[in-house]
Structure 1
Amino acid sequence: MRCFKTLLLSCLLLVPLLAGATETPTIYTIKKGDTLWGISQRFISDPWYWPSLWANNPLIRNPHLIYPGQKLAIYDGRIELLPASEEITRTAEPLPTPVDAISFEAHGDLQTFISADRLERSGRIVDTIDNRILMTQGDEVFVQMSDAQARIGARYRIYSLGELVRHPATNRKLGHQLIWLGELELTAAHEQVYSARITQAAREIERGSLLLPPAETNREIDLKRASQVLHGTLVAAAPGKIALGQHDVCHIDLGRNEGLEVGNMLTIVRPRQPTERAKADRNLRLPDSLLGRALVVRVDDASAVALILKASEPVYRGDLVYSEID
């Protein structure tokens, strides 16, 4: 009886394997304008499947730079990149027409760091209608900001300054971490100040708190090939965040002044140190360790925000980034 049960269990375990082995995939030849995002969305109705396809094919350096003529085997629920020599019978099922556009959605607060120059231009809460020290939801306050930033009826996010951020390599002062406190709405304009009402409070709010327009956290971002190779450093992340991974937001020391644009792809690397046995050769330089890829989702003059799309291991402040043009 024990032998019979063992044989029965073995047969049951083999059934799904045999079923998968006989599955005939659809073979799709990549065309100009195709992307892993678009292919995943159209063939298996899951645009976020593409990181798995990307991760399993290290020769695909950028998710929007796969090449015409490459072939994909499309199964029920998964996609595989085929070696050039592999031949599988193609099904007669009609395939969707590829499109040139690709977009991502960036989630989470992008304003966890503020550069020194942007800090000087930000609005602030300067007073309230009485002499209270702390303010909270429903309180009326007065704020100062430039007329170009102010819009009656608009909502602004309230922040306090966190830790000073220095460059990991040069120790130069770059800006501060930001701690989100709540939101307010402008209600009226006066000669020197604007009236506002605090509509949300996550913590106590004080005079001097910063005001920034809400960051667009769920907008679609078109990928854009960088016009030049730029090299920078990951300098900050969300307060209290040490190790970063997929879907985390980070800040880099490249911006509009260097030619960086929203939609550019960044490669994240870390210099590889020689082993103890090789340190006798002082001129030995090893290739960098490839850590992952990130998408630029917001650009300021001297800094930018990037969303980590893929990480093979934890990413830290001080890791290096560069933009890719091919």
Structure 2
Amino acid sequence: MLLTVATYAIAAEVRNDHPTTYTVQRGDTLWDIAGRFLKKPWLWPEIWQANPQVKNPHLIYPGDVLSLVYVNGRAQVRSDGPRVGEAIDTIPLSKIQPFLKQLTVVNEIKDLPYVLGLEEDRLLTSAGQVVYVRGMGGAQPGQLVSIVRPIVVYGVGAAVFGDDTNYSRAGVSQLNFRGKEDHHHWSSVEPLSKRERHGKVLGYELMRHATGEVMRVQGEVTVLLLRDEGRDVRVGDRIMPLETAPYDSRFMPHPPASLPPGAKVLAVADGDSIAGPNQIVALNVGTRNGIDNGTVFSMWHEGPTRPDNVKWNDKLTSMRDKVEMPDDYLGHVMVFRSFDNVSYGLVMESIRPTKVNDVLRHPDATE
């Protein structure tokens, strides 16, 4: 009975023009295929959950034939055909794979080991050279590590001083080689007040630049040999454990268990001001807010408050009679990597550009 009820609920979400069958193609994603059948692509796990004959929804291959038909009120999904190549991904992983391997977020950087000097006192160095690191207690010869560079610090300003839960605007500040802020690049409609700027630090973004191998330890200095042709390494770069599998390529889209208050777009990748489909954004929520990989949000731009210049002839009176405009729906974003207070999300589809400080809501939100 429960299966039948669930199936009827899904039937209401099926597109009126959905195809009866679809042959999976190379380059397809589960999200794209669900968009052919469903009004809400993030509901695709429910279709497979209602059809136990599909053992693993991630094991769908190019050449498989999917059909969505109803027999005695139940959805039937058939997967057959030759298995060619690798199983398809949930989302266009190729769009984010370089990003996933290069960036991470930590809560603090002051205690991380750091590059104190370079071979022959170079300004920059690369593979085949050695660097001298301070702070690597317990390092062992042969140990592999990542050399990362602090890029920005993420934060939010508190709308009420001292209230870390009532967020107003998101902020991003560039970091120098000491991991300190050079100057503020707080992205907001208007400059933040001093009170707002001292809100809450959400995390420090680090970019991977190279892999190093411990050659020897002399006193408090550890000598690293740069192993790969990555980015340049300089004094001030930090040392972190090497991540062999920094992300999971299999996601199950789902709405947040509960909507965190003040959830917003924190930044756009590569310092851009706007984002569109298949672009990456940072969000000011993370695992501490119950956000995990696969969480889907709808994105909204808050409507401005406008004076009624039609009703009133003089400007002062019209400014006292302001009307709040409706919020604008932008599209959907899905989290693909989450940290304590920050998550990275991929814009799945959008009808308007996404900007910093746009609001995150339940994927089914209508206003």
Q: TM-score, normalised by structure 1?
A: 0.63
Q: TM-score, normalised by structure 2?
A: 0.57
1:214-225 equivalent positions in 2, closer than 5 A: 214=243, 216=245, 219-223=248-252, 225=254
Shift of 1:193: 4.1
Instruction: Provide the C-alpha distance between the structure 1 equivalents of 2:138 and 2:8, rounded to a whole number of angstroms.
Output: 45
Structure 1 pair 147–122 and aligned structure 2 pair: CA distance change class (3 A): same
Instruction: Provide the C-alpha distance between the structure 2 equivalents of 1:103 and 1:243, rounded to a whole number of angstroms.
Output: 24
Aligned 8 A contact 1:135 1:206 in 2: yes
Structure 1 pair 107–282 and aligned structure 2 pair: CA distance change class (3 A): same
Structure 2 equivalent of residue 205 of structure 1: 233
Structure 2 equivalent of residue 291 of structure 1: 330
Q: Which amino acid aligns with 1:206?
A: R
Asked if 1:187 corresponds to 2:166, the answer is no
Aligned 8 A contact 2:34 2:42 in 1: no
Structure 2 equivalent of residue 322 of structure 1: 361
Structure 1 equivalent of residue 267 of structure 2: 236
Instruction: Provide the C-alpha distance between the structure 2 equivalents of 1:223 and 1:128, rounded to a whole number of angstroms.
Output: 45
Structure 1 equivalent of residue 97 of structure 2: 107
Secondary structure of the residue that 1:109 maps to in structure 2?
helix
Structure 1 pair 259–45 and aligned structure 2 pair: CA distance change class (3 A): same
Shift of 1:184: 2.2
Shift of 1:264: 1.4
1:1-326 equivalent positions in 2, closer than 5 A: 43-46=22-25, 47-48=28-29, 50-51=31-32, 54=35, 59-60=39-40, 62-64=42-44, 95-96=78-79, 103-104=90-91, 105=93, 106-110=96-100, 111-112=102-103, 114=105, 117-144=107-134, 152-161=142-151, 163=174, 166=186, 168=188, 170-171=196-197, 172=199, 174=201, 182-188=209-215, 190=217, 192-201=220-229, 204-212=232-240, 213-214=242-243, 216=245, 219-223=248-252, 225=254, 226-231=256-261, 232-273=263-304, 282-286=322-326, 288-324=327-363
Aligned 8 A contact 1:165 1:236 in 2: no
Instruction: Provide the C-alpha distance between the structure 2 equivalents of 1:278 and 1:113, rounded to a whole number of angstroms.
Output: 49
Structure 1 pair 45–199 and aligned structure 2 pair: CA distance change class (3 A): same
Secondary structure of the residue that 1:119 maps to in structure 2?
coil
Task: Please list every run of 5 or more consecutive structure 2 residues that lacks an aligned counterpart in the other structure.
Answer: 1-5, 52-62, 71-75, 81-88, 153-173, 175-183, 311-317
Structure 1 pair 31–150 and aligned structure 2 pair: CA distance change class (3 A): farther
Secondary structure of the residue that 1:227 maps to in structure 2?
coil
Please tell me the root mean square deviation across aligned C-alpha atoms, in Å: 4.8
Shift of 1:315: 1.4
Structure 1 pair 220–203 and aligned structure 2 pair: CA distance change class (3 A): closer
Instruction: Provide the C-alpha distance between the structure 1 equivalents of 2:140 and 2:336, rounded to a whole number of angstroms.
Output: 24
Q: Which amino acid aligns with 1:317?
A: V
Q: Which amino acid aligns with 1:309?
A: M
Structure 1 pair 80–103 and aligned structure 2 pair: CA distance change class (3 A): closer
Instruction: Provide the C-alpha distance between the structure 2 equivalents of 1:94 and 1:136, rounded to a whole number of angstroms.
Output: 53
Q: Which amino acid aligns with 1:54?
A: G
Structure 1 pair 247–322 and aligned structure 2 pair: CA distance change class (3 A): same
Aligned 8 A contact 1:126 1:143 in 2: yes
Q: How many residues are treated as equivalent by the alignment? A: 273
Instruction: Provide the C-alpha distance between the structure 1 equivalents of 2:237 and 2:131, rounded to a whole number of angstroms.
Output: 11
Could you give the per-residue CA deviations for residues 11-61 of structure 1, whole angstroms, max 9, x where no partner exists?
Answer: xxxxxxxxxxxxxxxxxx96999999xx99x9421332743763896x427
Secondary structure of the residue that 2:211 maps to in structure 1?
strand
Shift of 1:207: 0.9
Instruction: Provide the C-alpha distance between the structure 1 equivalents of 2:139 and 2:328, rounded to a whole number of angstroms.
Output: 43
Q: Which amino acid aligns with 1:307?
A: L
Shift of 1:241: 2.2
Instruction: Provide the C-alpha distance between the structure 2 equivalents of 1:167 and 1:136, rounded to a whole number of angstroms.
Output: 34
Secondary structure of the residue that 2:109 maps to in structure 1?
helix
Percentage of pairs with the same residue: 12
Structure 1 pair 238–131 and aligned structure 2 pair: CA distance change class (3 A): same
Larger Rg: 1
Secondary structure of the residue that 2:275 maps to in structure 1?
coil
